[in-house]
Amino acid sequence: MKDITVFLTEQFEAEAASVNEGKVESEKDFREFATKMCKEAHGDDFDEDKCKEAIDKFLEDNKETVDKGDWAEVVGIWKKGFTKED
C-alpha cells in the first residue's frame, strides 16, 4: 500500500501535467498556465491575490529567462516549485 504522501504527490503531479504548458508562448499564456496550476494545487484555499503576487515575483526572479522568451524553461522552473523532492 502506498504512503498517503506519495499517493497525493503522484495525483498532484498528474493533474499538473494535464495543464497545457505546450501552449505557453507569452507572458499572458504563462500567467494563465501558472494561475491554473495554483488553483489546482490549492483548491478551496486558492487566493487569487497571493497567486498573482507569487507569479509576479517568480517572473521578476527569472527575468533573464523571460526576456529570452524561453517559455518552456520558464514553465519548467515554475513546475519544479510544485514537485516534492525526496
- Asked if residue 2 has pLDDT above 80, the reply is no
**Confidence grade of residue 83 (pLDDT, cut at 50, 70, 90):** confident
- The tens digit of pLDDT for each residue in 34-66 reads 999 999 999 999 999 999 999 999 999 999 999
- The whole-number pLDDT of residue 82 equals 79
Q: Name the residue with cell 507572458.
A: 27
Better-scored residue on pLDDT, 58 or 19: 58
**What does the domain layout of the chain look like in residue ranges?**
4-80
Q: What angle do CA 59, 28, 85 make, to 5 degrees?
A: 45
Q: CA-to-CA distance for 86 and 84, rounded, in angstroms?
A: 6
- The whole-number pLDDT of residue 29 equals 95
Q: CA-to-CA distance for 69 and 29, rounded, in angstroms?
A: 12
